[in-house]
Structure 1
């Protein structure tokens, strides 16, 4: 069972940043690699998942005016496309879940923001909650991260982290 502490989250961040495979040169030449690496945000040498989530925010702001049904359909299609992209690129670079491949953070953040109230406070809260659950990986996120492989597995743990963050946002919006 995952234990929560600020120290454990920072330890996980440090351990992930120690052994990082090189960024493939194709990131800047191949649209699939560019997408898989979070539209370039995954090339940042420190905390690429955090930078990927930050870059997801402007995309969310563009999508936010969509009706909820259209946004939900977009999120489902985006998650499916992300799974396929992650699977293909990870096979080509021979690296399962390369730290720079952060299109899955986009998918998780979009899940977080389903039916979120409008306003910058909710976006910041969504960002913080999603990063918390994505880094902490409480049960069953950790289990999914370890047991489900391929592109689907790479995206699934972020989707579930997004669902956890979504639940907290919905609870907060109901209370406040």
Structure 2
């Protein structure tokens, strides 16, 4: 399965009787209901991640944030890959676990962020994720399957984090 982005209408919907690991993978990949948004599910997934970060991610010490992101990447790659197979798409639009990983990557270097900083991280991540400049777009071809679905969002998060770090270094409140 190619890692190319495929955000058109999903070819199929999974059967209603999915059970076990298939059901779990699909729910995790969609971040439960966020990926089912009829409008901009990726943005909704990113917004959920940005809203939860000040309580679930940022309070952790840096080492734990890195560990959490690694676990999220691995678990997300498994869930995204399995969901892609179930949905018959390379990169289904309803799979938004990659947006959570990318959004939290954008916030990784910061122990705290002001509400403006959270908003800036959200906007910067979405810009890099949607436009896919340079390494973000190139990263889409690095891996196939679940890791391929996840990696471009992580690279977009790294780019957003770099811009946020520069803004902070310049003395702007983040």
Normalised TM-score (structure 1): 0.83
Mark the runs of 5 or more structure 1 residues left unpaired by the alignment: 1-14
The answer to whether structure 1 residue 169 and structure 2 residue 164 are counterparts is yes
Q: Which residue of 1 aligns with 2:69?
A: 75
State which of 119, 122, 129 in structure 2 corresponds to 1:124.
119
CA RMSD, 1 decimal: 2.1
Residue 80 of structure 1 deviates from its aligned partner by 1.3
CA deviations on 1:16-57 (whole Å, 9 max, x unpaired) are 5xx311554659972321110122111111111000101112
Residue 58 of structure 1 deviates from its aligned partner by 3.1
The runs of 4+ residues in structure 1 deviating greater than 3 Å are: 22-29
CA distance in 2: counterparts of 1:129 and 1:26, whole angstroms:
37
CA distance in 1: counterparts of 2:67 and 2:164, whole angstroms:
20
**How many pairs were matched up?**
160
Name which structure has the greater RCO, CA cutoff 8 Å, separation 6+.
Answer: 2
Q: Which residue of 1 aligns with 2:106?
A: 112
Normalised TM-score (structure 2): 0.84
Mark the runs of 5 or more structure 2 residues left unpaired by the alignment: 1-5
Spell out the pairing of 1:9-24 with structure 2 (5 A cutoff).
16=7, 19-21=8-10, 23-24=13-14
